[in-house]
Each structure stands twice: as structure tokens, then as C-alpha cells.
Amino acid sequence: MNITKKQSTFLIITGAILPLLCLVHLFSGQINVEFQDFIDSLFNYNTQNTNQKIVRELRMPRMVMALIAGAGLSLSGLLMQTLFNNPLAGPYVLGINSGSSLFVAFSIMTGIPLLSSGLGIIPSALIGAFVFGVIILFFSAFVKSHVSLLLIGLMLGSFTTALVFILQSVSSSEELKSFAMWAMGSLQKTELSQLPIIVLLFTLGIIGSLLLIKPLNTLVIGEDEAILLGINYKAVRLFIVSITALLTGLITALCGPIAFVGLAVPNLVRILIKTQNHFTLIFASVFIGGAFILICDILIQLLENTIHIPINALTSLIGAPFVVLIVLKRLA
């Protein structure tokens, strides 16, 4: 696990930038709060103090969710791209996000008891992400062309969209409104009481990824070569899909479907630090992904009085042109 001085410097700088962005994010809202309000909200919380309540109940959960959303989706994209040896793979393109969205739609617009719990729609999103991840794995066993696999992922997305439309056509106006608000994407839905379980699940995803560093580094040279080197490919790919489903399902449930982060950020990381060492790639993707969503949400808050931009729209506006550049570069 050799890391060059350049890579170490990159990780230190990006890691140091994250806390600064978190502070900027905390104080970017339309209502001005003092730094002392932030300190008091942590160590001397007064429920009667409006500023402390804003920081503790609204801004801190939003900031943590922005960090987790960016980091988790970027890590999921990195894992998918390594597993399928394709820079255009990702939870959104391969339909894993679509699986979460479909099961969330069922949960919101039908209220199926099986998918309802004290955790809200989180179990629905996790199950949907895992089911569609397994479906993609099934097709990957028969389809060797990366382009064909991406097309299958897109078709799965179209299929789930059709099912969601059918659900919408038979749903009540309240259910439609609830699903539409969720589908627009937002970092404001997370409550402080949910943060412990969210952070725990996210941490499990990070730990699981770090345990896969050696297999991931081996998969870079190809599936057949990895098997020859003693890698249990079936177990590794199931583990990768499970981690991706965990992170993608969690984030999709809480924030809605956020596009292009899992596709664009890992590619950007590989451009910035030319390495196949997944120890470096994992941390760089987590740091840059978290920073990216924090910056996007800071912009959203600064423009709030002028225009309300859903987080999914902003990430698409920034991420889509970057992905097009990647495609053109590969074709050149």
C-alpha cells in the first residue's frame, strides 16, 4: 500500500478543506447566527434560543447529510467502476438508484406495511438498491460488453420509471405531492435523531470498502487475472454490491435521487491523482465527493432568496457536461 508524497499531500489538503467547508455551510443560511451559537448548540443547548435551535435542529443535520451524500455516492461510483472495469459505471447509470426510487415510490404511494418501519422509507430504499444491484450482477455474468451492460442499466431505469408513472396514476394527490417533493432531492429532510443510525451505516460502508482494498487493486487488471491470483470474485462482487446498495439506498431514501456524483467524482479523482491504489482512491473520492455536495448546497443556500434549486438539478447541471467530456476523451 505505497502512497507517493504527491498523493499524501493531496489527501491532507482535501481532508483539511472539508472541515472549513462544513463551517462555511453551517453559516450560509439566510438567518445570521454567531459562532458562539454553534458552540452552545453542542455543549450548552438552550431549547428556548432560536439561533441555537436553528443550528442544532436544521443546519447540523443538513451539513452532515451533505457530507455523507457526497462521500457515499462517490465511493459507490468508485466501487462500481472498479467492479465492472468501466469509468462510465455508477449507481445512477446502472439502475441502482432506480431500484431505490421504485421501492420508495411503492412505500410512499401504497403504504405497504412490509416496507414501513420506524426508519421511514430507508428500509425500502436499501432493499430496492440491493435487489437492482443483484439484477445488474446477474446480467453482468452473461453480458461481457461494458456498453451493453450500461444499456441494460439504462433500460432498467426506464422500466422503473414506467412503473413509477403507473403508481402515480393511481395515487392520491397527497401521495403524489409527497413523492414529487422527495424526487426533487433535498438535504433538509434529515432529523437530528436520525443522525446516529445514518452515521453508523455510512461508517460501516467505509469500513467495508477499506476491507476490499486488496481485491479492488487486483480487479483493476481484470476479472480472470484476479481469479488466477486467488481472489474469490463472486464473494467480492457480492460484497461490493452490498456496500453500494447500503450507501446508495441510505442516501437516496434521505435525499432523493442525486445524479452524476457517483459517476463524475471518481473519474475526476483518477484524473487528479493518476493511481490505481484504492486506499488513495477511496479516501480521495470520499473527500472530494463530500466537498462537492457541500459546495453545491452552499450555492443553493446563497441563492435561496432568488431561486430554489433542488440538489439533484444542480449536481446534474455540473456533472453532466463533465461526463460528456469523459466520453469524448475516451473516443478521441
Q: What is the pLDDT averaged over residues 164-177? A: 87
- Please return the burial class of 33, using the count of CB atoms within 10 Å of its CB with bins 0-12, 13-18 and 19+: middle
**Lowest pLDDT segment from 25-29, 119-123, 186-190, 249-253:** 119-123
Domain 59-331 architecture: Orthogonal Bundle (1.10)
Distance CA 216, CA 244 (A): 14
Confidence of residue 153 (pLDDT cuts 50, 70, 90): confident
One-letter identity of residue 199? V
3-state secondary structure of 306: coil
Distance CA 244, CA 17 (A): 26
Q: What is the pTM of this model?
A: 0.91
Q: What is the pLDDT averaged over residues 2-12? A: 88
- Between these two residues, 134 and 210, which has the higher pLDDT value? 210
Confidence of residue 331 (pLDDT cuts 50, 70, 90): low
What is the tens place of the pLDDT at every residue in 305-322?
Answer: 888 888 988 999 998 888
Please say if the pLDDT value at position 141 is more than 90.
no
What is the largest distance, in Å, between two alpha-carbon atoms of the chain? Answer: 64
For residue 222, is it left (φ>0), alpha (ψ between -120 and 50) or beta? left
One-letter identity of residue 212? L
Q: What is the DSSP string of 47-100?
A: TT-HHHHIIIIIIHHHHHHHHHHHHHHHHHHHHHHHHTT-TT--TTTTTHHHHH
Please say if the pLDDT value at position 71 is more than 80.
yes
Q: What is the pLDDT averaged over residues 24-46? A: 85
Distance CA 64, CA 192 (A): 10
Domains of the chain, by residue range, sit at 59-331
Give the rounded distance of the alpha carbon of 192 from its chain centre. 20
What is the tens place of the pLDDT at every residue in 83-117?
Answer: 888 888 888 878 888 888 888 888 888 766 545 55
Q: What is the pLDDT averaged over residues 257-268? A: 91
Please name which of 109, 216, 226 lies closest in space to residue 168, comparing C-alpha atoms. 109
Q: What is the pLDDT averaged over residues 231-252? A: 90
Please say if the pLDDT value at position 236 is more than 70.
yes
